[in-house]
Structure 1
Amino acid sequence: MSFASGPSRWSDVWLTTAARGISSCGDFLAASALTLSLQSAGAGGMAVSGLLLAATLPLVALAPLTGRLADRIDSRTLLAVTGLAQAGVCLALAYAGHPALVIALVALLAAGLAVTQPVLAALVPAMVRAEDLPRAGALNQTAGTLGALAGPALAGLLVGGFGARLPLLVDAGSYLALVAAGLLIRTRRGGRRRPEPTAAGGAHPTWRLRRDPLLFVMVGTLAAVVGAVGAINVIEVFFIRETLGSTTTVYGVVTGAWTLGIVLGGWLFARLSRRLADDGALLGAGLALLGGCCLAVLASAAVPSALLLVPIWLLGGVANGGDNVFNNLLLARRVPEASRGRAFAVFGAAVQGAGMAGYLVGGLLLEVAEPRPLVAACGVVGLLVVAAVAAPVRRAVRAERVATPAAALPGVVHLEVDRASGAELATPTPSR
């Protein structure tokens, strides 16, 4: 798979990192401000669920289109135009009053995110050499999670002191970072490009997720676990604010603990990933980390006060960050460069779609049950799903090791059987 042919462009990596961090902070700032505003106004679980669904549905529904846009249109154009559009939408959102208009604008804002996510994700592997990808990925993830860490905490402070409008105005300004990144980053994708050649001199066939059983199992496993525990995203604000009786500021601190753990886990497991050249080992380690996330959710149901959630969710975030590193590395290793935008869009859509199911279930369950037992149920169901998918993961890993024994030899060109059509594809294994 194609990575940077010369030295890694770390200046581009840092620009992408800064843009993602700033825009991520704005995203979580707006989401947390709107969630807290709804809860403080007396809205129930279905209202919060509806808001989260509006923020997620475009990421799923538009994935087939936005993934192709990321691969076919110049990345500079996409980032600049989308960033300006999102800034305008967020400015309108700050002054919107009717709930229906707010939901519509949130959905429109998410449509822009559906474009920028695969663009940025696919740019990073093109900026660096294969051996530098774990470090670059950890930097990029750190930016996103630090933004997610700062966003809820900042929302808790600003909403408590100034209401929801100021956080939304700050969010509108944060999208201008995407415009600056689009203009300054030298690495570009999309536009006028020729298909990536294979070792046989031809062009890669159209990439399909189902043609790679290992990636297919990885995406399915993560989506299943996210769907099982996704209701926690709706339940947590009621659990922390009402069951545990905490302030909006404490809510921001507690939710930020998980994202801080993601930062720590990203760097810890980026170092470990260098020892896992075998893709099957990455998949198995990712499943174990997903189990750690579910254990953290289950343990959180027993706490008597919100501050005790901080160390538990910190550990859960570490596991989450490690799984993110392994997933992104698998996608970058196994997907042709020309199709990475679509691959990251498909991956994001599967996970976000599973999360939508969790949002809906969480909103419904809050109408009939208290938050604490629901938090415990999320953890238990998540662990059961991890146990259920362990067998398919083992089968996929065994099949991968039988089908591609040459993958362990750096620089070797091996034949990979297309399980869907039976054709043999010549795939160069990058040196590590």
Structure 2
Amino acid sequence: MQVTGVRRGWGWPVLAALTLSTIGDEISLVTLMLRTAAHDPPFAVPMLLVAELLPGLLAAPFAGRLVDTRDAVRLLVVASLAEAAVIAWMATHADLSSTIIGAAALGVSFAVSGAASFALIPVLSTALGMPLARANALLEFVRGAGMLAGPVAGGVLVAWGGTTGALLIDAASFALLATVLLASGLRRPVAAADAPAAQGALLADYLPLLRESRITVMIGALTLEVYATAIADVAFVFLVTVAMGAGATVFGALTACWAGGMLAGAAWGGTLAMRRPAPLAFAAATVMGATMLAIGAGWTWGVGLVGGAFAIGGAANSLHNVAVRTMLQRESPAAMHGRVAAMYGAATSSAAMMGYVTGGLFVPAGAVEAYWLGGALGIAAGVGGWWLFTRSRR
């Protein structure tokens, strides 16, 4: 793997552009959901979410191989320009069929850009003279800020200029990212000896990674943790409105507690050297499971104590994400980072979809039981995953 550095002074603008595009992701999701909910049948919103998720899941293995055979920076530029064009087109085509087609196209493009971004994190950390764990923590902080600021910004933009204006602003954020990447001079060319075969069965390209038991155990434990969290995500609104008998104010406050915890966890993760990220990843997974159990058992404690549990869970979530990415990037060769990202993304997307379906079986009356199940599975992912990981070899 050959890597060329970023031009002097351009490392931080690249990170800033990635930040804007992350917030843009949230703006586009909120805007499209608001537009779809207002003008289309009730089943249209689930269709929109599936259209954004499923094509990307199917494209993930091909995207991973593509990133490992081409310069990830150029792929991210092309994907960002494609995303800008698709979102701009969706801004002026508000009918349901165009929205679904555009969402599916974005899902495929996001699969490529996500794998490319994962592969570029080690390159950027080297160019900035920053430890890998700190770079991952910074991007996790950015993601948390995007999750917090994006929906607010999306709502404000829709109220101010309508859905068309909000989507065009989002399209501009992706065009800006492509422009900054081109100007930065950042490159990640792939040596011919490192690249997987451009033709042939996908399984053959992924077999070397599947034989790495430490990587497969980590991704397997991550999959179970995401599944557990997704069950609770579905039950969250019913925990507030049915079990706790509260309203929108409490719902917003608890959401803010989780998001604030994520920001704090990411900030703390940036101060850790993470010479051994795996123990931290499994410990954080265990804490996430424990907080879900605590919420399920103590939903009568009052908003203050439940909010504290949400904040702890959010902080553990961020630390878990940072440690998992750092571990996967260190354990796998740079020439396989695209495929690792594809496995990572496909596993989390699949687990989220299955968790949403499972969580739907509990609501509205069984939200507390859903938290108990999610908590038990989360602890199993942390404790059981660590037990398997310590018995795995490189």
TM-superposed CA distance for 1:35, in Å, is 2.9
Q: Where does residue 86 of structure 2 map in the other structure?
A: 89
Contact 2:135/2:270 (<8 A) preserved: no
Report the Cα distance in structure 2 between the residues aligned to 1:392 and 1:50, rounded to whole angstroms: 35
Q: Which residue of 2 aligns with 1:288?
A: 286
CA distance in 1, matches of 2:283, 2:90: 41
Judged with a 3 Å threshold, the aligned counterparts in structure 2 of structure 1 residues 292 and 15 are, in CA distance, closer, same or farther, namely farther
Verify the 8 A CA contact 2:232 2:370 in the aligned structure 1: yes
Deviations 1:15-35 (A, max 9, x none): 332122111111111212333
Query: How many residues are treated as equivalent by the alignment?
Result: 381
Return the offset for 1:378: 3.4
How far 1:315 sits from its partner (Å)? 2.9
Work out whether residues 269 and 325 of structure 1, in 8 Å CA contact, stay in contact via their aligned partners in 2: yes
Measure the CA separation in 2 of the matches of 1:36 and 1:390.
Answer: 37
The aligned residue for residue 215 of structure 2 is: 215
Compute the displacement of 1:251 (Å): 6.9
Partner residue, 1:136: 135
CA contact (8 A) 1:19 1:178 kept: yes
Maintained 8 Å contact 1:265/1:318: yes
**In the alignment, which of 246, 249, 262 is matched to residue 248 of structure 2?**
246
Aligned in 2, Cα 1:251/1:383: closer, same or farther, shift over 3 Å? Answer: closer
Corresponding residue number in structure 2 for 1:328: 325
Structure 2 equivalent of residue 412 of structure 1: none
Q: How does 1:25-104 map to 2 (within 5 A)?
A: 25-39=23-37, 44=42, 47-104=44-101
Match of 2:337 in 1: 340
Contact 2:285 2:378 in 1 (8 A): yes
- SS of 1:378 mapped into structure 2: helix
Could you tell me whether the CA contact under 8 Å between 1:154 and 1:252 is conserved in 2?
no
In the alignment, structure 1 residue 383 sits paired with structure 2 residue 380: no
The residue that corresponds to 2:259 in the other structure is 259
TM-aligned CA distance change 1:288 to 1:312, over 3 Å? closer
The 1:136/1:300 distance shift into structure 2, 3 A limit, reads: farther
Per-residue deviation, 1:333: 0.9
Measured in 2, the distance between the counterparts of 1:251 and 1:166 equals: 28
Report the CA distance between 1:337 and its aligned residue. 0.6
1:395 equivalent among 387, 390, 393? 387
Going from structure 1 to structure 2, the CA distance change for 1:162 and 1:358 (only over 3 Å counts) comes to: farther
Distance 1:161 1:71 in 2: 42
Deviation at 1:78, TM superposition (A): 1.3
Contact 2:10 2:184 in 1 (8 A): yes
Question: Is contact 1:152–1:255 with CA below 8 Å preserved after alignment?
Answer: no
Q: 1:302 to 1:351 in 2, by over 3 A?
A: farther
Letter in 2 for 1:384: A
The 1:102/1:280 distance shift into structure 2, 3 A limit, reads closer
CA offsets per residue over residues 26-62 of structure 1, 9 Å max, x none? 1111212333445566965x54333222221123111
What residue number does 1:424 align with? none
* TM, length-normalised to structure 2: 0.82
Opposite residue 111 of structure 1, the aligned amino acid is V
Listed as ranges, the matches of 1:133-282 within 5 Å are 133-160=132-159, 162-195=161-194, 208-233=208-233, 244-246=246-248, 255=255, 257-272=257-272, 274=273, 276-278=274-276, 280-282=278-280
* CA deviation vs aligned residue, 1:149-202 (integer Å, no higher than 9, x gap): 211112233345554333222222221132123203333224555439xxxxxx
**Structure-2 separation of matches of 1:355 and 1:321:** 17
Map of 1:200 onto structure 2: none
CA-CA distance at 1:96 after TM superposition: 2.9
Matched residue SS, 1:164: helix
3-state SS in 2 of match to 1:127? helix
Q: Distance in 2 between matches of 1:116 and 1:106?
A: 15
Cα shift at 1:218: 1.5
SS of the residue aligned with 1:62? helix
Higher helix share: 2
1:252 deviation in Å? 6.9
Whole-angstrom CA distance in 2 between matches of 1:280 and 1:300: 30
**Distance change in 2, residues 1:216/1:269 (3 Å):** same
Structure 1-normalised TM-score?
0.75
Q: Which amino acid aligns with 2:92?
A: Y
Maintained 8 Å contact 2:138/2:270: no
The Cα of 1:365 is off from its aligned counterpart by 4.2
Pair 395,178 (structure 1): closer, same or farther in 2 beyond 3 Å: same
Aligned-partner Cα distance in 1 for 2:154–2:246: 19
Pair 1:355–1:142, CA change in 2 (3 A): same
Greater mean deviation of Cα atoms: 113-122 or 256-265? 256-265
Most deviating of 185-194 and 14-23:
185-194
Offset of residue 85 of structure 1: 1.2
Unaligned stretches of 5+ residues in structure 1: 197-204, 404-415, 417-432
CA 1:232–1:49: 2 relative to 1, 3 Å:
farther
Which has the higher mean CA deviation after the structures are superposed, 11-20 or 76-85? 11-20
Aligned residue identity for 1:19? A
Partner Cα separation in structure 1 for residue 207 and residue 346 of structure 2: 16
- Could you tell me which amino acid in structure 2 is paired with residue 345 of structure 1? A
CA distance in 2 between partners of 1:303 and 1:10 (Å): 53
Do the aligned residues in 2 keep the contact of 1:195 with 1:338 (CA within 8 Å)?
A: yes
Give yes or no for contact 2:232–2:374 (8 Å, CA) kept in 1: no
